[in-house]
Structure 1
Amino acid sequence: MLKVKKILISQPVPSDPHSPFYDIEKKYGVKIDYNQLIRIDPIHALEYRTQKVDIVKYSAIVFNSRHGINHFFRLCKEMRIEVSSEMKYFCTSETIARYLQKYITYRKRKVFYPVDGTFESLVALMKKKPEEKFLMVTSDINAEKYWAIFDKYGVSVDRAVMYRTVKNLSADSPLDHDMFVVYTPSGVNAIKETFPDFEQGERIFATLGATTAQAAREAGFRVDIEVPSPQYTSISAAMDDFLHENHKRIRH
C-alpha cells in the first residue's frame, strides 16, 4: 500500500483558519494542494433569453449542485423574476437541499431529495409528482445522462442552461499526488479529459456525493473513500480515519 504524503483537494484554499484540512496537514505531515479543477462561468440574462425557457411557467426546479442553485437565483434577480413561494425544489442530496436555505425559507413540503443521494432515486421521487412541471438547471455540458434517466422513468423535464463549466486544469500541471479528493462529476471529467492516460494504480480516490462516485467509476477510477456513507457524512472525517490507518500501517 502507498503511504499518502501529498493530497489534491478539488476546492479553493479554505478561508477558515480552523478548517479541518489544516488540522489534517499538521497531524499527518501531509501536503495538501487545492485546485478546483473546473471554473464556473455565469450565463447572463441576454444569452439566457435565447433559450426561450420561461421560469415562471414551471412549478418545480431540479438541482444537482450548489452551482445550479446560485445561478438560478442570480438569474432570477438579474431578470427581475419573483420566484413563487409555492415553487417546489427537487435536489440530488440533502446537502444540496439544505443549501437552498441561503435563498428561501426551507419547508419540507416544498423540498425533496432521495435518502441515498442518487440521481435515479431522485427521478423516482419526481415520478410520484406527475402534476408538476419540471425544469432542471444545468451547466452547458454533460447533461445528456440525466435525460436518459428521465426517459427511463417517463418523467418530462425541460432544461435551462444557466452556467458554463470550464476545465481549470492544465496538462502541464504535475499529477503526482497520492490522494485525490474530488467534489463534483465535472472535476472527475477534468482529470480524465486532461490526462487521458492517467493510471490510478495505488493512488487513493475520495469522492463527495453519489453522482461524483458514479462519475469516477464510469471514468475507470477505483473509489476508495465515498462520502456520504453510513459511517461518514464529512469528507474530512473520512480522510482523517483513512490517513490514521494508512500511516499506522506504513511507517516510511
Structure 2
Amino acid sequence: PDEYSAIIFTSKNSIDHFFRICDEMRVKMSQDTKYFCLSEAIANYLQKFIVYRKRKVFAGKRTIADLKNQMNKHKAKEKFLMPVSNLGAKRTTDYLNEHEFDWKDALMYRTVCSDLSDLSDVTYDVLVFFSPLGINSLYENFPDFKQKATRIAVYGNSTKKSVLEHGLDINIMAPAPDVPSMTMALEKYLKVSNKK
C-alpha cells in the first residue's frame, strides 16, 4: 500500500480485508492516504479503521461515476489501489480504464457459494437475489431447480440478466423509480398480491 496514495473501496468487505491484510503485514497506512468510497455507508464504515477527515475521505451515492469530480481533481497526483474479490468490480474497472486513471486492482478475498444442500426439502414463497453469484449458488446447490410457484425477486441489472439466462421468471424487480430498495419492492409486491 505504500506505493499507492489513494484507495478505492467498493464494499465493506473490501475494507475489512484490506485492513486485515495491512495488519497481518504490519503495514501502517499514511495519514495522507485518500479514500474513495462508492457510497456513504461504505465511507462511514471506514471510520472503524482510520481517523476520518473530510479532506481525505470521499463518498459517492452508488457508483464510481458519482465520484467523478473528486477523482478528477486528484487524478494527476494520485496512484489508486482498488481491493477486490475474485468477482472483481467490472463497472468500476471499466470506468477507471476509460478515464485513464493510474490504478491497480488487488485480489484480497474470494466470494464462494455456501453449501445449502441441507435445504433441499424446503420450499420458499420468494427467493431474493442480489447478485449473479446468488443465482450460481442456487444452481450449484440445486442443479434441478424448477421455479414452479416460487416468486423470484431480483436486485440490479447484472442479476436480472443472470436470472433470465437461467430461464426463470422475475416477479419482483429493484431498483426501479418507484421502488429504489428491495425492501420497498417486496412491500409493494405483497400489497398488490394480498389484494387478490
Question: Is the pair's TM-score, using the shorter chain for normalization, greater than 0.5?
Answer: yes
- Unaligned stretches of 5+ residues in structure 1: 1-54, 208-212
Would you say 1:64 and 2:29 are equivalent positions?
no
Quick one: distance in 1 between partners of 2:144 and 2:192? 27
Quick one: distance in 2 between partners of 1:218 and 1:200? 16
Quick one: distance in 2 between partners of 1:123 and 1:85? 23
8 Å Cα contact 1:216/1:223 also seen in 2: no
| Aligned partner letter, 2:159 | A
For 2:161, the equivalent position in structure 1 comes to 218
8 Å Cα contact 2:151/2:171 also seen in 1: no
TM-score by length of 2: 0.73
> In the comparison of the two structures, how many residue pairs are matched?
188
8 Å Cα contact 2:179/2:185 also seen in 1: no
8 Å Cα contact 2:154/2:160 also seen in 1: no
Quick one: distance in 1 between partners of 2:146 and 2:95? 30
Quick one: distance in 1 between partners of 2:57 and 2:24? 24
Quick one: distance in 2 between partners of 1:155 and 1:192? 38
Alignment map for 1:15-30 (pairs within 5 Å) = none
TM-score by length of 1: 0.59
**Following TM superposition, by how much is the alpha carbon of 1:92 offset from its aligned partner in structure 2, in angstroms?**
1.9
**Following TM superposition, by how much is the alpha carbon of 1:144 offset from its aligned partner in structure 2, in angstroms?**
5.3
| Aligned partner letter, 2:35 | Y
Q: C-alpha root-mean-square deviation of aligned residues, in Å? A: 3.5
2:128 to 181, 197, 212: 181
Structure with greater contact order relative to length (CA < 8 Å, sep ≥ 6): 1
Quick one: distance in 2 between partners of 1:232 and 1:160? 31
| Aligned partner letter, 2:158 | A
**Following TM superposition, by how much is the alpha carbon of 1:95 offset from its aligned partner in structure 2, in angstroms?**
1.8
Percent of residue pairs identical: 36
